[in-house]
Amino acid sequence: MTRRNDKAEADITTHDQNPYEIVKDLLKESVAELGLNENIYHILKKPNRVLEVSLPVRMDDGTIRNFTGYRSQHLDIIGPTKGGIRFHPNVNIDEVKALSMWMSLKSAILDLPLGGGKGGVIVDPDELSESEVEELSRTYIRQITPIIGPQKDIPAPDVNTSPEIMGWMMDEYDQLRGYNIPGMLTGKPLIIGGSKGRLEATGKGVVITIREAAKVLNINLENATAALQGFGNVGSMTAKFLHELGVKIIGITDATGGVYKEDGLDISELLEHAKSGQSLSDYQKGDPLSNEELFGLPVDILIPAALENQITEETAPSIQAKIVAEAANGPTTPAGDKILENNGIFVIPDILCNAGGVTVSYFEWVQNEMNYYWKKDEVNEKLEERMVFGFENVAKIREERGIRMRNAAYTVGIKHIAHALEARGWIKSLNKR
């Protein structure tokens, strides 16, 4: 049985930990701060469409379990909505709504012609067999088929979903439609239309933003240290590319436990360890590490790459890092954020930091639509260009307005969307009336 590292389980019943309330507050605050027309907030505060689906799945023992799933589509005025699908016991409607809203902002910051979408199923996949997970994945995609498609809403992987699961989902969709439609989702295996570089993209993007932040703060990454929460797709790829830049990673945790080594963990070995399906509680070459201990490590860079609400009123005071790179979506609560701000910590906000995933997903979709595939170097060059573009725009607003990176990122994203609202005639003026 899998041991649980309890700290990542969020209590979303409180306003301060409910991601939907958090994103609404941030939108409201940014629209007001910018002196923008408040109708922009009223349009952005709710997703266009949220679908709840019932997912009856026949278990291996013949019984039926009926799971609940969601798909939220925030705004499609700039392009089809897009965003991952999460399988997790803590999935709930407010979380999915917030995640879809963050997707809209992320795409806007990077000038991707997409809107925000997100999906989730309330399930602990560790409790299911492989064939049960496959059946659940196929059932979920059947149930959301009426509202998705390459020109409507394009799913992708998120927590506990993988290229293999994307392959099953695409197959189910294609069987229903009667032909091959690779652009209906991204993050799929290469052989059926995946993009080179997608698997690494989010982590690569995170590290590009850390590199740019280090330039702003005059930190030499070759002498820097880091700690990471989460060693899944995003955490492991972030560790790989940070290690390649010479950063010493001294602590990592996952859902089962964690590991600490003062003179640096062996990242290549840990990547192999994870690839073989093992978790950190099985890795013995270091001292055990809890999430609480991880946050308080004396490192230059702290990277939450797991779930929401990890940097809180309780955990933030112990953080010593100069940079917090939000690889996860929504890892910091408003109270935690205030503490980071008061302590002068440079935060790379999630809607910028982890935007590399959706960027290469966009490239995957473009390649699918052309049926012409790019080399990995081409993908990576384009990713680098977009991430630097996004970072520089946000950093410029931070500098000009003397505001924090998070508010600057919301400013860039909201302004971009507001221009589209104006162009479509939804608002007659960008400014307050």
Ligand X SMILES: NC(=O)C1=CN([C@@H]2O[C@H](COP(=O)(O)OP(=O)(O)OC[C@H]3O[C@@H](n4cnc5c(N)ncnc54)[C@H](O)[C@@H]3O)[C@@H](O)[C@H]2O)C=CC1
Ligand Y SMILES: O=C(O)CCC(=O)C(=O)O
The residues that touch ligand X, with contacts defined as CB under 6 A, are 5, 7-8, 157-160, 202, 229-235, 253-255, 291, 305-307, 327-329, 354, 357
**Which entry of ligand X, ligand Y, none binds 301, CB below 5 to 8 A by partner kind?**
none
Task: Provide, rounded to whole angstroms, the least separation between the CB of residue 72 and ligand X.
Answer: 14
- Which lies closer to ligand X via its Cβ, residue 225 or residue 253? 253
Inter-axis angle of helices 356-370 and 198-217, nearest 10: 140
188 binds ligand Y (CB under 6 A): no
Among residues 69, 64, 154, 149, which one has the least CA distance to residue 107? 154
CA distance 74 to 99: 9
Specify which residues 324 forms β-bridges with: 302, 347
Q: Return the one option of ligand Y, ligand X, none that residue 8 interacts with (CB less than 5 to 8 A, by type).
A: ligand X
Is 361 annotated as belonging to a binding site? yes
Residue 82 binding ligand Y, by CB under 6 A? yes
The answer to the question of residue 361 lying near ligand Y (CB under 6 A) is yes
Sequence-distant (≥ 6) Cβ neighbours of residue 322 within 8 angstroms: 217, 219, 300, 301, 345, 346
Q: Which is nearer to ligand X, 31 or 110 (CB)?
A: 110
- Tell me how far, at minimum, the Cβ of 317 lies from ligand X, in Å: 19
Binders of ligand Y among residues 140 to 169 (CB under 6 A) are 156, 158
Size of the site for ligand Y (CB under 6 A): 13
- In this chain, which of 357, 363, 395, 413 binds ligand Y, going by CB under 6 A? 357
Residue 82 partner contact from ligand X, ligand Y, none using kind-dependent CB cut-offs of 5 to 8 Å: ligand Y
Closest to ligand Y by CB, 128 vs 206, is 206
- Partner from ligand X, ligand Y, none binding residue 67, C-beta < 5-8 Å depending on class: none
CB 389 within 8 Å of CB 241: no
Consult the annotation and say whether 106 binds a ligand.
yes
Residue number with the shortest CB distance to ligand X? 232
Hunting for tokens 């955490």 — which residue is that?
A: 235
**Stretch (H or E) spanning 415:** helix 405-423
CA distance 309 to 352: 18
Could you tell me if 72 and 85 are in contact, meaning their C-beta atoms sit under 8 angstroms apart?
A: no
Pick the catalytic residue from 24, 118, 196, 248. 118
Give me 215's structure tokens: 């330039």
DSSP string over 257-272? EEEE-TT---HHHHHH
Gap between the terminal Cα atoms of the chain: 59
Residue 390 binds: one of ligand Y, ligand X, none (C-beta under 5 to 8 A by kind): none
Alpha-carbon distance values, 8 to 111, 323, 328, 335, 433 (Å): 32, 20, 12, 16, 43
Task: Give the pair of three-digit tokens for residue 407.
Answer: 């508010």
Stretch that binds ligand Y, among 208-216, 251-259, 279-287, 351-359 (CB under 6 A): 351-359
CB of 158 to ligand X, least distance (A): 5
In angstroms, rounded to a whole number, what is the distance separating the alpha carbons of residues 430 and 433? 9
At residue 205's C-alpha, the angle toward residues 200 and 207, to 5°, is 100
Between 144 and 297, CB nearer to ligand Y: 144
202 is in an annotated binding site: yes
Residue 185 or 265 with smaller CB distance to ligand Y = 185
188 is catalytic: no
Please check if 233 is assigned to a binding site: yes
Residue 45 is assigned to a ligand binding site: no
Half-sphere exposure of 359 (CA within 13 A, CB side): 31
Establish if 354 lies at the interface with ligand Y (CB under 6 A).
Answer: yes
Task: Return the half-sphere exposure (C-beta side, CA atoms, 13 A cut-off) of residue 195.
Answer: 32
Which residues are at the interface with ligand Y (CB under 6 A)? 82-84, 106, 156, 158, 186-187, 329, 354, 357-358, 361
Binding-site residue positions for NAD(+): 202, 233
Catalytic site positions:
118
Binding-site residue positions for substrate: 82, 106, 361
